[in-house]
């Protein structure tokens, strides 16, 4: 492959690989990972392999995450000039973490390209895991390439999106077969494609099970309020009462709860009795038991000292009381708090949300058990992107995701976020109700099927029957067992193939 310098090829391959992810879903683009493996094998040493790996990951991140720059235009005077540098630095950070891990493949001169391909998969997954740990940003994992291919996405019920990632990387490294003897190459391609076909068959059979519903009915309110005018409190008060009006639209059948999005209330619902009285009147008028809505609250220490702000979900009853509350645990760096604030403030940096007070973490995941509703686990905003971390020890009957995706406009971001949310439903065997202020709101069953949907920038109301959970999935019962077994078998197979190839050459 001499049409361009290797680092340019790596950039192109990385950009192509991003096309496999939602919402583009071009599965053949996975073959770009095989292109990267070949570039690494052809590198004269580890240093050149490092540059190629970093270039690949940087281009993938730039194509898949460029939409983050839109968030900086919400308050364009303060943050607009930071949009491009911030996204560039984010992509550089991801590239340095993941590229450095992947480049370790070249520390060995491989006798067998197939063994190298088998070793590449766990290295890539390790890089994804590290950037999730270091940066708390496990976004656009390679396993999400199967998220919108619902037959294949059912594999998340076996081993999560991480196991799907392992399988996707095996598919992606098929170009390595070009470097193998003809019979071995055909055998490897046949084995991987047969495994993919087997998963699709199993997924198709699993999806033959019809959606079951509970007796619980919910009203989802998508307000479609914009943030492009900054954080105008008067405007947000108008949106609050608009949501009240939309919630009062005629019902086909009674509902048990009305759900608004993250940040839907500009009032401190823990202290503002007037706002709660308005909500109580709404609930009595509609005959609903609860209104579930996102809002902020001030967090104080036991000695009265202000700690920060909680991003919370409130459950308000017809008497205007707060029946339960959940405080968000996984906070967005730079969105909800400024990391290393004493240092970064000196450079004029701040978080992109309103106010200079940081949000603070809640005490942990909670399963809310409210009278008249099946127990549920609240997930605020990007808390849906963490596989295996979506509920407390007590398994709920459903997941509730409230979010603000307006930050990212009509871009790839909201579609990627939805794909991750539905993957959590498949992993856990739990239905997921999603209310986003400007879309995409949805009712998703325990197999990841979208039953109701309100698209981006649509003001709307949907009355939905809550889907029922299914029995615990293999992943819900065993967590990372299948992933661990798969990686271990792949590594053992790589060692055997490499050892055999080395003996044949000698």
Are 132 and 177 in contact, with CB atoms under 8 Å apart? no
- Quick one: angle between helices 113-135 and 32-42, nearest 10? 110
CA distance 207 to 474: 16
Q: Quote the tokens at residue 186.
A: 């055909």
CA distance 501 to 393: 47
Q: Among 9, 94, 29, 19, which Cα is nearest to 57's?
A: 94
Please list the residues that pair with 18 across neighbouring strands: none
CA distance 375 to 79: 40
CA distance 234 to 214: 39
Please list the residues that pair with 1 across neighbouring strands: none
How many contiguous H segments (helices) and E segments (strands) does the chain have? Answer: 15, 11
* Residue-by-residue DSSP string for 298-366: EEE-TTS-EEEEEEEEEEE-TTS-EEEEEE--SPPBTTTB-TTHHHHGGGT---SSSSSSPB---S---
Provide CB contacts within 8 A for 320, sequence distance 6+.
273, 276, 277, 279, 280
What are the strands of the beta sheet with 441-444, ordered from one edge? Answer: 376-380, 398-403, 432-436, 441-444, 450-454
CB atoms within 10 A of CB 327: 20
CA distance 36 to 289: 55
Q: Which residues are catalytic?
A: 262, 328, 381
CB atoms within 10 A of CB 126: 15
* Residue-by-residue DSSP string for 35-83: HHHHHHHH-SSHHHHHHHHHHHHHHHHHHHHGGGGGGGGTTHHHHGGGH
Are 315 and 322 in contact, with CB atoms under 8 Å apart? yes
Give the CA angle between residues 416, 437, 160 to the nearest 5°: 30
CB atoms within 10 A of CB 205: 11
Helices (H), 207-256: 233-247
Please list the residues that pair with 378 across neighbouring strands: 400
354: phi then psi, degrees, rounded to nearest 5: -65, 145
């Amino acid at each position: 492959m001499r049409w361009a310098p290797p680092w340019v090829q790596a950039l192109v391959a990385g950009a192509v690989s991003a096309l496999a992810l939602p919402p583009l879903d071009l599965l053949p683009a996975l073959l770009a990972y095989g292109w990267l493996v070949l570039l690494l094998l052809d590198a004269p040493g580890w240093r050149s392999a490092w540059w190629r790996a970093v270039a690949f990951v940087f281009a993938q991140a730039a194509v898949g995450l460029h939409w983050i720059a839109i968030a900086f235009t919400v308050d364009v005077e303060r943050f607009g000039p930071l949009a491009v540098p911030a996204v560039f630095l984010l992509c550089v950070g991801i590239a340095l973490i993941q590229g450095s891990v992947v480049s370790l493949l070249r520390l060995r001169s491989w006798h067998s390209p197939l063994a190298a391909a088998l070793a590449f998969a766990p290295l890539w997954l390790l890089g994804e895991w590290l950037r999730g740990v270091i940066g708390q940003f496990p976004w656009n994992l390679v396993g999400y390439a199967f998220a919108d291919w619902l037959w294949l996405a059912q594999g998340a019920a076996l081993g999560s999106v991480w196991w799907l990632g392992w399988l996707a990387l095996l598919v992606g490294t098929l170009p390595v077969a070009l470097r193998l003897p003809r019979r071995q190459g055909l055998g490897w391609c046949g084995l991987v494609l047969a495994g993919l076909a087997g998963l699709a068959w199993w997924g198709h059979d699993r999806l033959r099970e019809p959606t079951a519903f509970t007796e619980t009915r919910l009203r989802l309110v998508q307000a479609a309020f914009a943030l492009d005018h900054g954080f105008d409190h008067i405007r947000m008060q108008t949106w609050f009462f608009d949501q009240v009006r939309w919630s009062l639209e005629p019902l086909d059948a009674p509902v048990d709860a009305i759900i608004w999005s993250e940040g839907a209330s500009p009032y401190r619902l823990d202290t503002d009795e007037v706002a709660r009285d308005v909500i109580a009147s709404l609930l009595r008028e509609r005959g609903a038991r609860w209104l579930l809505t996102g809002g902020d609250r001030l967090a104080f220490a036991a000695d009265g000292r202000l700690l920060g702000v909680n991003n919370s979900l409130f459950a308000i009853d017809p008497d205007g009381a707060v029946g339960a509350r959940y405080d968000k645990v996984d906070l967005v760096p730079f969105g909800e708090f400024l990391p290393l604030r004493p240092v970064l403030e000196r450079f004029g940096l701040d978080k992109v949300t309103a106010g200079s007070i940081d949000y603070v973490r809640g005490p942990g995941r909670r399963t809310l058990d409210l009278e008249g509703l099946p127990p549920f686990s609240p997930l605020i905003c990007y808390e849906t992107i963490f596989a295996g971390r979506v509920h407390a020890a007590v398994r709920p009957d459903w997941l509730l995701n409230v979010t603000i995706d307006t930050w990212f406009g009509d871009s790839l971001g909201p579609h990627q976020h939805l794909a991750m949310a539905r993957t959590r439903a498949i992993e856990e065997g739990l239905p997921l109700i999603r209310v986003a202020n400007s879309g995409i709101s949805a009712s998703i069953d325990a197999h990841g099927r979208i039953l109701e949907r309100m698209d981006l920038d649509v003001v709307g109301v949907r009355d939905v029957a809550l889907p029922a959970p299914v029995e615990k999935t293999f992943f819900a019962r065993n967590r990372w067992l299948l992933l661990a077994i798969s990686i271990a078998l792949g590594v053992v197979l790589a060692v055997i193939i490499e050892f055999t190839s080395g003996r044949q050459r000698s």
